[in-house]
Structure 1
Amino acid sequence: MARKYLFVTVLVALFAALAFGTVGAQDDEITIVFSHIFTDENRGGFIEQVAQDFMAANPGINVEIQTANSYRDNLNSALLAAQQGTAPHIVQIFEVGTQLALDSGIFVPVEEIATPEQLATLEDVITPVSNYYAVDDVQWSLPFNSSNPILYYNRDIFEAAGLDPDDPPETYGEVLEACETIMASQDLQGCIGWNMHGWFVEQWVAEQGALLANNDNGRADRATEVFLNSDAMLNVFNWWDTLADNGWYTYTGQLEDWNGSDAIFTGQQVAMHITSTADLVNINEAATNNGFELGTGFLPIPDDAERNGVVIGGASLWFTGGHPQEELEAAVEFALFLGNTQNGAAWHQASGYFPIRESAIEELNSAGWFDQNPAFRTAFDQLTQTTPNSATAGALIGNFLEVRTIVEEAAQAMVDGGRSPEDVLNEANERANAALAEFNATVAN
């Protein structure tokens, strides 16, 4: 509840602050501030190096880097900074923050800042990615780090259990069968784990071709209802409940614990793990250091579902208003440099986020990268096999963060509290729709 009221207070204050303007003093040297979430050496170090390269090529522009511990923190910090007139020029915002970012009123569409020539370069961005961040035919942000969830598995454990390491499970039923075999012969904490995070649930709903919200997932009009007790949601929770009841599902006990969940897998306490491709490089390095061979596969789906595809995950780069025009133009120039063909290909190699430009994909293919590193191809193949529709476009929900937390709390009540899938989802649906109605009323007022 505290998170909800904090946002409502900030939103009201933002509208008041924006009415008076937030333009700061101009300096001779242009300084732009970029706020992102990567603090690890592979990803954070890459961004720092690109910033240095950009400044060397553009001596009149200084790029300052700020970091936050999570996407939630990064967005909330930007909202509070805007209220005080100190918002960073560029804010990395995750995909489910899109509607909230629009509602905040602090951001300027990139198409209002960039030149026609700069906007033309976005034609190189692969369609599923560009479609997600264009709202009502307006290009609000620049795609940067795009991902989707995949299955990671320990090939050595598969072999030891008598399973084919070249044939990972692709359906819920196949996961259950594999777990039964693995747990009968291996001394493990569990069979499979994933971070208790609503993002995975959203992906499994999309894979079934179902919607998370009304009005075409909030794409045709503002979402006014969410469907947290749908048949698609129940399919996900029933399978999850079966894994938990058998002692085959493992997590850290905390919500949204990405690093802790990765550590369970890389510590060889489970045979399989579901997480973002964003962790691929770090997990691959940890697997090598811990002496096992890593395998990757598509996200498993319900047995009776025809694979529909995944929703774009990750984040894009948004530009805050209230800055001098030359600073905004410099910010766009830096953001485009960060995501150009060369840097986009290198970013994929440094992180595991899939390349979002056709030209970057061609460069990687020409260099034989995917042939030499098949684990990196999995997420990209999964994306290219995604059917473009309202389900895979992803939902736009004003209080998506709150809805996501409600889903996570429902899962935790089921896994740890022993409540039935039907019970927790019915309660979650009631809570989420009440919260959404309150949020929409706040925005309308």
Structure 2
Amino acid sequence: MGTAADQSDRVVEVWIPSYPAVPLFLTEVRELARAFEREHPGYRIEIVECSSYESLPEEVHRAAQRGHRPAIVSYLFTSTQLARDMRTHAGEPLFMPVQRAIGGRTEILGHPVVIDDLVPAARAYYTSGDELFALPHLTSTTLLYTNNSLLSKSGVREVPRTWSELTAACRKLAGRTGVAGPGVTWPNAGWIFQQAVAQQGAVLADPDNGRTVRAQQVQLDSEEMLAFVHWWQQLHRSGYYHYSGVRAIGDRTGDAWERNYRAFAEQRVAFVLSTSVEADRMVDAGRQSGFEVTASRMPHNGEVPYAGNVVGGDALWLSDGLDEATRDGALAFMQYLLSAEHAARRHKTTRFMPVTRSSVDLLDSEGWFEASPQHRAALDQLDASDGSYAARGALLGDLAGLHDVVTQAMDDVLACGADPDRRFAEASSQAQRQLDDYNADCLGERPGPAGPRRFAVN
């Protein structure tokens, strides 16, 4: 909790989850809150640290049912549809679209409005129709990290750009001196499935990935999903893919990604797919063990046109029903957090991507990307998006439940030899039942007040 506010202060309460992996994040936000207060006497920015991003949605829900609403809440991207469906104790939407609250203004309390400066892919994820409903402040994507030293020993001259190129590189790596095992790894995680489907221009849900109206039909057995699953299965059967055996779901999420990292750091694989936030960690692992690391775009299916990759990270949500002065204080603080200087600083302290064009330009002018080229790959990847509904990612109720279903299906394929087509058809039916239940809750088709009843994030 922040310090107690003066009785004359107008309090803007900001709920932000604790991220142990990025300890400087909350410290920095608190420092910026104090700086904002110095510029705006009469406002108090109250930073409330919530226990975790996993429990935050339910904590907010319980507060809302008591009649309490924080001015700003930071939600993980998997909670996006959930946040849109949150309700007050009176049954009204808890949050209002940020763009609607801004109302065409170019500055608020003297702070320039940044929504038109956002990196396009980040803005697109949090946009429905033409309206931005939340303000992304922590953004990431999935990248390929390559052990160049092992690659050189195998005779592979270029980092793979497509699935077939990655398969060929793994084939050359197999059995070479210095390679202790398979060529590539990535976690069995829902985000990876989202990326692979989006890259191929396909949607996870109809209609339109949930971006024009509420998503009603999931597609876990689409041609594009099965193309990815079959390729993954073949890599595994050929001995080219290392499976940790851990699904990235619930309290095992961190373990799955950590095992992913260790396989690469210990040179048990030459390639790893992981978040762009890990770029420095991957490069440092190579430096400590004497191998060179390159970060590059996630390989895609070269048989179809590339559409784009999906973002991860967090966004800031603005509560509805605030008085005008409190609302403008909240909006101004959100713009302040994303000024070029502050967004660039946040990138350096958290390693999440710089989320505005002006912050990218500032970092470029400082020579940051020349000195740390591993951070350019994520920007280049998101800039290649075609802006389609597929590339923007799915807005889907109970996305965490879908992740649970799809990762279990893939575990059955890899570890138990299940038939991919049959198993993913079953998974699609199961995920559909979960989505139907979620929608029924939110649309008031069940006894009790309308609104979500499942608040899982992973």
Q: What is the TM-score with the length of structure 1 in the denominator?
A: 0.86
1:199-246 deviation per Cα after TM superposition (whole angstroms, max 9, x unaligned): 111111111111111111112222110111011000110111112223
Name structure 2 gaps, 5 residues minimum: 87-92, 445-458
SS in 2 for 1:32: strand
Q: Is the 8 A contact 1:75 1:91 kept in 2?
A: no
How many angstroms does 1:85 deviate by?
Answer: 4.1
Matched AA of 1:33: V
1:110-153 deviation per Cα after TM superposition (whole angstroms, max 9, x unaligned): 24544723374322223332232122333321121122111012
Which position in structure 1 is the counterpart of 2:242? 249
Alignment CA distance shift 1:223-1:253 (3 Å): same
1:32-47 equivalent positions in 2, closer than 5 A: 32-39=13-20, 40-47=22-29
Which position in structure 2 is the counterpart of 1:219? 211
Matches of 2:124 and 2:278 in 1, distance apart?
A: 24
Larger CA deviation: 110-119 vs 128-137? 110-119
1:136-188 deviation per Cα after TM superposition (whole angstroms, max 9, x unaligned): 33332112112211101222222233333xx2111112111222222311343
Which position in structure 2 is the counterpart of 1:117? 106
Which position in structure 1 is the counterpart of 2:137? 144
Which position in structure 1 is the counterpart of 2:44? 61
How many residues in Structure 1 have an aligned counterpart in Structure 2?
A: 418
Which position in structure 2 is the counterpart of 1:238? 230
How many angstroms does 1:268 deviate by?
Answer: 2.8
Which position in structure 1 is the counterpart of 2:59? 77
Q: What is the TM-score with the length of structure 2 in the denominator?
A: 0.83
1:29-66 deviation per Cα after TM superposition (whole angstroms, max 9, x unaligned): 32523313422335455444434544454454243241
Alignment CA distance shift 1:261-1:53 (3 Å): farther
Which position in structure 2 is the counterpart of 1:350? 349
SS in 1 for 2:355: coil
SS in 2 for 1:356: coil
Matched AA of 1:416: A
Alignment CA distance shift 1:330-1:289 (3 Å): farther
Matched AA of 2:375: F
Aligned-residue RMSD, C-alpha: 2.6
Q: Is the 8 A contact 2:179 2:269 kept in 1?
A: no
From 189, 202, 214, give the equivalent of 2:194: 202
Which position in structure 2 is the counterpart of 1:229? 221
Matches of 1:26 and 1:392 in 2, distance apart?
A: 47
Matches of 2:337 and 2:412 in 1, distance apart?
A: 42
Report percent identity of matched pairs.
27
SS in 1 for 2:207: helix
Q: Is the 8 A contact 1:196 1:411 kept in 2?
A: yes
Higher helix share: 1
Which position in structure 1 is the counterpart of 2:174? 183
- Structure 1 position 294 matched with structure 2 position 293: yes
Alignment CA distance shift 1:333-1:263 (3 Å): farther
Name structure 1 gaps, 5 residues minimum: 1-24
Which position in structure 2 is the counterpart of 1:134? 127
Matched AA of 2:32: V
- Structure 1 position 173 matched with structure 2 position 161: no
